[in-house]
Structure 1
Amino acid sequence: MPIETGTKAPGFTLKDQNNQEVSLADFLGEKHVLLVFYPFAFTGVCEGELCGIRDNLDAYQSDEVQVLSVSVDSPFAHKVWANQQGFEFPLLSDFWPHGAVAQAYGVFNDEKGMANRGTFVIDKQGVVRFAEMNLPGEARDQGAWQKALSELAA
C-alpha cells in the first residue's frame, strides 16, 4: 500500500535522464511536487501516461509545481526515451539500490521487480496531500492529479 496522505514524504536523491542528481529536498519550500512512479520506459501504458503529462505539461508543471517521474530503468534508458518522446520533465532512475525509493513510498512490486503506478502530490512542506496506486496495466485517471494540484493552489 502506498504511504498515506498527511505523512511526511520520504526524501530521495536520484539521477535524471541527463545523469544529474535531483532531490526532493531541492523543491521543499519552493514548489509542490507531482511524483509519478511507473513500471518501465518504452511500454504502452507508461508511454501513454507520460505523453499525457507531456501534452498537458502546463496543467501539471508551473512556477508552483514540479513534475518528477520515477522508474527502475537506468538513466541511459531514460535519456533515449526522453529524446524519442520529447519529455521535458525529469525521468528519475530508481535503478540502484533497486527500487529503494518506490519501496519507501510503498509502491514497489517485489514479485516483478518494478514500481507499480504510484502517484503522489507533495506540498511545499514535504507532506503527502494525494496518494494513489494502480497495478501494472491499469492506467491512472490524471484528472484526479489535476484536482489535487488545484486544491493546493486554492
Structure 2
Amino acid sequence: MSLSVGDVAPEFSLPDQDRQVVSLAELRGRPVLVVFYPFAFSGICTGELCQLRDELATYTDAGVTVVAISTDPVFSLKAFKAQEGLEFPLLSDFWPHGATAQAYGVFNDKAGMAVRGTFLVDAEGRVAFAEVNQPGDAREQSGWKDAVAKIAA
C-alpha cells in the first residue's frame, strides 16, 4: 500500500548517477518532489523526465528539490542523465533491490521495478501530495504543480 497525504515519508539514502549518496534527511527543511519511475531509457519514463527537466523551474523557483528514483544501476542512470540533459539527481534503488520503492509502496514485485509514484514531501518530512500510476499509465504533471503551489504559498 502506498503512502497517503499526512504520512511521514520514509527516509532513504541512495546513490545518485555519480555514486554520491543523497538522503532525504539531508534535504529536510525544504520540500522534496520524489518521482519514482520504472526504467531509464524507456519511452514513457523518458518523456516524463524530459517534461520535468523542461519545467524544472516551476519546482526550483518554489524552493522544491527534485529527485527521481528507479531500480536501475548507477551506470545506466549516468548515461541516461547525460543523454537527456537532466538537471536533477537520478537515484538508484538497485540494491537492496527496490527497498525504497517498497517503503513508499510503489514496488512491483513481479516485474522487479518501481511503478510511477510521485510524492511531494514537505519541509518537515510529511507527504503533502501522493499519486501512483501503474506501468504504461503516463502521469499528468499538473497535479504536482498544484501541490507545489500550495506548499510554496
TM-score interval (norm. to shorter)? over 0.9
Would you say the 8 A contact 1:53–1:60 is kept in 2? no
% identical equivalent positions = 56
The normalised TM-score by structure 1 is: 0.97
62-71 vs 32-41, greater mean Cα deviation: 62-71
SS at match of 1:81: helix
User: Which residues in structure 2 correspond to 1:15-54 (within 5 Å)?
Assistant: 15-29=15-29, 31-54=30-53
Contact 1:36/1:117 (<8 A) preserved: yes
1:71 aligns with 2:70: yes
Aligned residue number for residue 99 of structure 1:
98
Residue ranges of structure 1 left out of the alignment (5+ in a row): none
Aligned length in residues? 153
| CA drift at 1:63 | 6.4
Q: Which runs of 4+ in 1 moved over 3 A?
A: none
Relative to structure 1, the CA distance from residue 26 to residue 88 in structure 2 (aligned partners, 3 Å threshold; closer, same or farther) is same
Aligned in 2, Cα 1:103/1:40: closer, same or farther, shift over 3 Å?
Answer: same
CA distance in 1, matches of 2:104, 2:97: 14
Question: 8 Å contact 1:74–1:95 — kept in the other structure?
Answer: yes
Instruction: Report if aligned partners of 2:98, 2:113 keep a CA contact under 8 Å in 1.
Output: yes
